[in-house]
Structure 1
């Protein structure tokens, strides 16, 4: 099982319920295909760096999961078929990224923070 991070930008016209339903749809898809959801983080409505399909905002969602290496192709096909998704990006995580994400979630200092003097 490999570690991955997925960032999805959904169309901003989704209601809160539709946004949560879409998140559940994809977490269930991962679980049904032998994967494990490690962490999910809905960022909510954010401005886009550039317009996509004439939209300037999007609903961001970040998901960290473990799955077999062959799984991402099936997952990609499902997301390309979904009209509510503006963009998506998979990132393979190495052991250091997994460790960093775990520390960041638990509140342990990661060493990348700058000391605030005042």
Structure 2
């Protein structure tokens, strides 16, 4: 298993409850084949430039250890969902 760090920007127009659901979805995908080391919720922040006509985003930084297949699963999940503005995963 390899160590990864990911940053996810969620649509801030969602209700707080929906944002928490999106975070839980990400956690479940990771925990199927790996383990979460640290989750850091930055909350709503101003974007440097508009993304999907949004000026703000809800930032989430997550460090985890998992197989490479988890990254593919996360990307598929986020590409299907319209509530994720951007995401990026890097190997540490």
State the TM-score, normalizing by the size of structure 2.
0.94
- Paired residues, number: 92
CA shift at 1:78, angstroms? 0.9
CA shift at 1:51, angstroms? 0.5
Q: Name the structure, 1 or 2, with higher relative contact order (CA <8 Å, separation 6+).
A: 2
Larger Rg over CA atoms: 1
- Larger strand proportion of the pair: 2
Query: Could you give the per-residue CA deviations for residues 19-56 of structure 1, whole angstroms, max 9, x where no partner exists?
Result: 11111111011112x11011101110000000011111
**In structure 2, C-alpha distance between the alignment counterparts of 1:72 and 1:57, rounded to whole Å:** 25
**In structure 2, C-alpha distance between the alignment counterparts of 1:75 and 1:44, rounded to whole Å:** 20
Q: Which residue matches 1:2?
A: 2
Query: After TM superposition, what 4+ stretches of structure 1 lie above 3 angstroms from structure 2?
Result: none
Gaps of 5+ in 2: none
Query: Could you give the per-residue CA deviations for residues 60-113 of structure 1, whole angstroms, max 9, x where no partner exists?
Result: 0011111012321122111111110000000110xxxxxxxxxxxxxxxxxxxx
State the TM-score, normalizing by the size of structure 1.
0.75
Gaps of 5+ in 1: 94-118
Alpha-carbon RMSD? 0.9
**In structure 1, C-alpha distance between the alignment counterparts of 2:15 and 2:40, rounded to whole Å:** 17
